[in-house]
Amino acid sequence: MNYRHAFHAGNSADVVKHALLIALIKGLQLKDSALTLIDTHAGCGLYDLAGDEAGRTGEAAGGVLRAFADANPLLGDYRAAVRAVNDGGEPRLYPGSPRFLAQLVREQDALILNEKHPEDAAALRQAMRGTPAAIHTRDAYELWLAMLPTRTPRGVVVVDPPYEQTDERARITATLAAAHRKWAHGVTVIWYPLKDRAAHQRWKDKLRQTRIPKLLNVEHWLYDADQPGIYNGAGLFIVNPPYAFTQDLPPLLEALRAALAPEGHRGTLKAEWLNR
C-alpha cells in the first residue's frame, strides 16, 4: 500500500494518530525527567489542506474537519494543537507529527526528526524553523537503531512510514525487535494503514511472536464492513505506553470513533494488548 502523507493530510487516520500521540506524551510528561522524541519518517512537517495533494483527495473533510465540528472536550487538546499552526483559527494548514511534537517539547526535552526524501526534507526544514528540532536525512531504520538508547533517561520513537515497500512491515518487525534488545524500557509508536483484515492479522501474529512485553494495539476500522480495494482505517502499535495514557484511553477512543464515523456507519476503535 502506497500511503504518501501529503495526499492524506488531516484525514481520520491523522486525527487518531495525533490525538493519541498528544495524550501519550502528556502522560509521560507527568514526570519531570527529560524525554527524547524521535520521528523516523517525519515527512514535510506541515501541509496545505487546499494544496494539490490534499485537495485532490479531500480526506480532511472526514477527519480534522469532523473533529472541529465535534464539541467533545476530550478532543480539545487535539483541536488546540491544530489551531496553533493556523493563528488560532480553523484548519487551513495541517501539522504533521513533527509540528505536533514540537508543541509538546519542554525545555529539558530533545526533538530529533528524520526524512530521507530530499524534497520532503527541504520542506521539513522550512516547516520546523524556530523549533528546537534536529533534522537528519538518513535511512529511517538505520537511524532508529543508531539513536538508541536515547541520551535522556526516557524517550519516544514514532515510526510512520508511507508503506511504499513490500517489505515495510517485515523491516518494522525486525527493527522493533532489535530496538527492544537495546532499549527495553523505551516507548515506541508505530502507525499503520488498514486495508485488508487478513493481512493485518498476519502482521499482528508476527508481532506477538517477538514476545515484546507491554505491546498495545489500537485499531480503527471506519466502516461496519470492509470496503474492498480502499483505505479502511488505521491504527497504532505502542510499546510501553505510560499507565496514565492507558487509563484515560477508553473514553478518548470512543470520542474519536463517534466524531469520525462515516455517515451510515458506526465503525470500531478499540485497544487490545498483543503482549502484556
DSSP bridge pairs for 237: 190, 217
Q: What is the pTM for the complete model shown?
A: 0.96
Each residue's pLDDT tens digit, 44-91: 999 999 988 877 778 999 999 999 999 999 999 999 999 999 999 999
Over residues 236-262, the mean pLDDT reads 98
Nearest by Cα to 68 from 259, 244, 255? 259
Q: Is 226 a catalytic residue?
A: no
CATH of the domain at 194: 3.40.50.150
**Structural domain count of the chain:** 1
Q: Write down the pLDDT at residue 24.
A: 98
Each residue's pLDDT tens digit, 177-228: 999 999 999 999 999 999 888 989 999 999 999 999 999 999 999 998 877 7
State the residue for C-alpha cell 496545505: 48
Q: Write down the pLDDT at residue 4.
A: 60
Mean pLDDT of the chain: 95
DSSP bridge pairs for 135: 113
Each residue's pLDDT tens digit, 115-172: 999 999 999 999 999 999 999 999 999 999 999 999 999 999 999 999 989 999 999 9
d(CA 185, CA 219): 23
Catalytic residue among 52, 77, 160, 167: 160
Range of the domain at 246: 5-275
* Amino acid in the structure at residue 257: R
Q: What angle do CA 94, 96, 205 make, to 5 degrees?
A: 125
Q: Write down the pLDDT at residue 7.
A: 81
Each residue's pLDDT tens digit, 87-112: 999 999 999 999 999 999 999 999 99
